[in-house]
Amino acid sequence: MRRRPARTWRNGTAIVLGALFATPAVAQTPPNASPAPSPLGSSAGASTMGVTAPGTAAPGAPAAGPAAPDASATGTSPTGPSATGAPGAGTPGSAADALSAITVTAKRFDEARSSIQPSLGASKYEFTPESVEAIPQGQNAPLNQVLLRAPSVVQDSFGQIHVRGDHGNVQYRLDGVQLPEGLSLFTNALLTQYAANMALIDGALPAQYGFRTAGIVDITVKSGRTDPGAEGWMTLGSYNWQQPSASYGGASGKYDYFVTGQFLHNAIGIENPTSSSWPIHDATDQWHALGKLSAIVDEDTRLSFIFGGSNARFQIPNSPGQTPQYTVNGISSFNSLLLDERQWEQTYFGIASLQKHYGTADFQLSAFARYSGLAFQPDTTGDLMFNGISPWATRTDLAAGFQGDGSWKVSPSHTLRAGFLVQREHATSLTNAQVLPVDSTGATTSDTPMGITYGSDLVGWMYGVYLQDEWKLSPTVTLNYGARFDAYSATVAENQLSPRINAVWEPNKFLTAHLGYARYFTPPPLSQVGNTAIAVTAGTTAAPALTQNSPVRAERANYFDAGFEVRPMEGLKFGFDAYYKIAQNLLDEGQFGAPIILTSFNYANAKVKGVELTGSYDSGPWSVYGNVAWMDAQGTNINSAQYNFSAADLAYIAQNYIYLDHNQSVTGSAGVAYTFNPDSEWATRVSSDVLLGSGLRSDLTLPSGSSIPNGRALPYYAVVNLSAAQKLPIKGTRGATVRLDILNLFDSSYQIRDGTGVGVGAPQYGLRRTFLVTLAQKF
């Protein structure tokens, strides 16, 4: 019998909320293209959401580099102000010219950073501020909901997403710096409103991307120089939804800064375990904040600091009609609607970066750190009666390290890139639990609880270095080849040399094609390994049926990718991509018991394949996009953390390939936006989109009573959303915008999980129809 997961509610530690910055920075665009002006707050009349042709993103060394601005770039004479802001002698208007030069220099640093870490040969799906504003909730949309608009991104419970058949394995980068993983399960530690631009990069990745390689969420953080001023938002709506946000950004001489913060309260913090419209015991309070400070030291040097955090508390929703499995202190009945379980999550992070330009070389050196913590409070009696264990659990994780990346334009046809990453991580867990004693048959010998304590204290290291060369074979063909060496030391010690190669062919402005191969090395998250409870729980209701616990190992995979993009006319793009992955020790994750955290395990062998079709059209007031993807992800022979599974499941999976629980054969999204009066102060934008899926996996029960793990798919679903935004000119301000969002317009009831499947916990349903009204005011 599968254990029913515990239900929780977090208490809140307030984070001091800063004000959130206003206007998003200019989005990355293909060469010779320019974004439309914004008629709706930070939104333009037509959004730009779609695949960037592989090879068009910053090929070669930095084209401009952060060198001193020339006359054409700044509008000043060669004898005018320097990029450091010192006015030239005798130059009229030198103060204004100096500020202009600093702004141009800051922009060139951004361009140089992009050229240090290009996505050459990989698939890149971009989200500009305009495209984000066109989806439900705009900048206030959760980050995972924005990413669901990209191809091959699958929705799961707890706000999880799966990219191209991987359960997790997603890497988040802020201004090019990899952010360590944390413990947060329900909480999005990063917000959409932090991003000036954002992209999802996947496929056969260049050598600078290591360890977490299913997808790279590359976020360019807003700055005070590009997003000056103050802005506030207030969202109210269904489920007692209250979501105030604020931002402030500015610049002074060589310095620029911004701060942003958000608070969220609603009554549907986690997916509802029933099909009802209103969940029971599901409130959440969440605080988020982020700040950024940059300083241009001189025309070739920039320092920047990013810091942020989140703190959240959740109630775990209850499911009625559950039957207790045990008697505790003479009590044999318990109303499952009255369970009171709670979970708290917090994370804090910081990044310090030095960016430098020397002639034809650029590099960025960064230090980073992230702390995260999780605490679970059970329903002392109820959990024991339903699950056989009532655990008070805490977990912490602290990771810190250094990252360096550089590029050197050796010749017109060769650009060398190299870099490294070193990270130390310390993960702890401590559980104080109440259980009941059992005999050799599993029958309880007493209804009086007994206490047990167990935990772990692990230290892990990750090291990675890479070297690659971008070789311009001809004006239309570019080859990017190299390798990286990665090592991991924690519960096991492993390493791998991983070659990478990509070829990009761009014969004309209408077509770009790519072909690539990558070898991947993916260690398990340290916080998801190292269980020490097997011996402690022996002879109790918390004891697993099996005791085998082989160590979780790093996944090793060969990844092949090919695709093309055609641009038959201005604003119209179509793309196709196909991929195939062969993995040994494929990493998967499951939710086993309480608290609601994930545990890693391996499939000895696995194969993942899929195809993607994408399209977008942006012209004038119109913006249209659509994606559809097919995927097949299967694995066999679970060879680690076996104690989490039944003997029957292990035996079947050892002899057969099964679908991974997060496999969804068909995934799609599409959207359309239209702006009325785009050049008016009273511009109005109306947009709608749809998300569809063929359903995640669940167990298939046979007539004999046995089951095939992950043997069937849940039913198809399609969720339609509608949004409208109206700009309002207000004298003395930069204007206001009021918007209405209707999530799940037709109130569809669809199941994300049914409570069965390998590593699956309780049933969960998608969000029902929700009305949200937002007022945004700029100052």
**CB-CB contact of 603 with 634 (8 Å):** no
Q: Are residues 674 and 725 in the same domain?
A: yes
Listed in sequence order, the residues at least 6 apart from 405 whose beta carbon sits closer than 8 Å to its beta carbon are 116, 117, 176, 208, 363, 364, 417, 418, 419
Rg from Cα positions in the chain: 26
Q: Which residues contact 346 (CB under 8 A, 6 or more apart)?
A: 13, 309, 310, 311, 312, 372, 373
Q: Are residues 184 and 314 in the same domain?
A: yes
107 & 170 share domain: no
Do 371 and 485 lie in a common domain?
yes
In-domain check, residue 334? no
Same domain, 97 and 208: no
Nearest 5°: the CA angle 542, 546, 549 is: 100
Answer yes or no: are the C-beta atoms of 643 and 534 closer than 8 Å: yes
Residue 76 shares a structural domain with residue 129: no
Q: Would you say 385 and 337 are in contact if contact means Cβ atoms under 8 Å apart?
A: no
Q: Is residue 18 part of a domain?
A: no
- Whether 90 and 230 share a structural domain: no
Confirm whether 236 is domain-assigned: yes
All residues at 6 or more sequence positions from 533 whose CB lies less than 8 Å from its CB, including other chains:
431, 454, 542
Q: Establish if 17 belongs to a structural domain.
A: no
3-state secondary structure 193-214: HHEEEEEEEECCCCCCCCCCCC
pLDDT at 346: 96
pLDDT at position 96 is 57
568 prior amide bond cis, ω within 30: no
Give the range of the structural domain holding residue 312, as residue numbers without chain letter.
49-60+118-319+361-778
**Residue 163, domain member (yes or no):** yes
Check residue 176 and give its pLDDT.
95
Q: Which residues have C-beta within 8 Å of that of residue 77, sequence separation ≥ 6?
A: 71, 91
Q: What stretches of 620-762 adopt beta strand conformation (E)?
A: 622-638, 658-659, 666-676, 684-693, 697-701, 707-713, 717-728, 736-743, 751-754
In the listed set 117, 147, 164, which residue is the last one of a domain according to the structure? 117
Please indicate, yes or no, if residue 757 is contained in any of the structural domains.
yes
pLDDT at 120: 86
CB 163, CB 134: distance < 8 Å = no
- From the list 99, 56, 144, 68, the residue with the least C-alpha distance to 506 is 56
Asked if residue 447 and residue 366 are part of one domain, the reply reads yes
Q: In whole angstroms, what is the distance from residue 104 CA to residue 118 CA?
A: 21
Residue 7 forms part of a structural domain: no
Q: Quick one: 68 and 178 in the same domain?
A: no
Cα–Cα–Cα angle for 230, 231, 234, rounded to 5 degrees: 150
The CA distance from 578 to 613, in Å, is 9
Looking at the structure, tell me whether residues 88 and 127 fall in a common domain: no
Q: How many domains does the chain have?
A: 2
Looking at residue 184, what is its pLDDT?
73
Divide the 779 residues of the chain into consecutive groups of 10 and give the mean pLDDT of each group: 38 35 34 34 40 42 38 34 36 57 73 80 93 94 96 93 95 96 83 95 97 96 91 97 97 94 97 95 98 95 97 95 94 95 96 95 97 95 95 95 97 97 96 95 95 95 98 97 98 97 97 98 92 86 92 97 97 97 96 77 98 96 97 98 94 97 97 94 96 97 93 97 96 91 97 92 94 96
Q: Among 81, 100, 117, where does a domain finish?
A: 117
pLDDT at 94: 59
pLDDT for the residue numbered 765 = 97
260 and 176 both lie in a single domain: yes
In a domain, residue 38? The reply is: no
Q: What is the CATH number of the domain that holds 140?
A: 2.40.170.20
pLDDT for 98 equals: 59
pLDDT of residue 3: 39
Residues 128 and 244 in one domain: yes
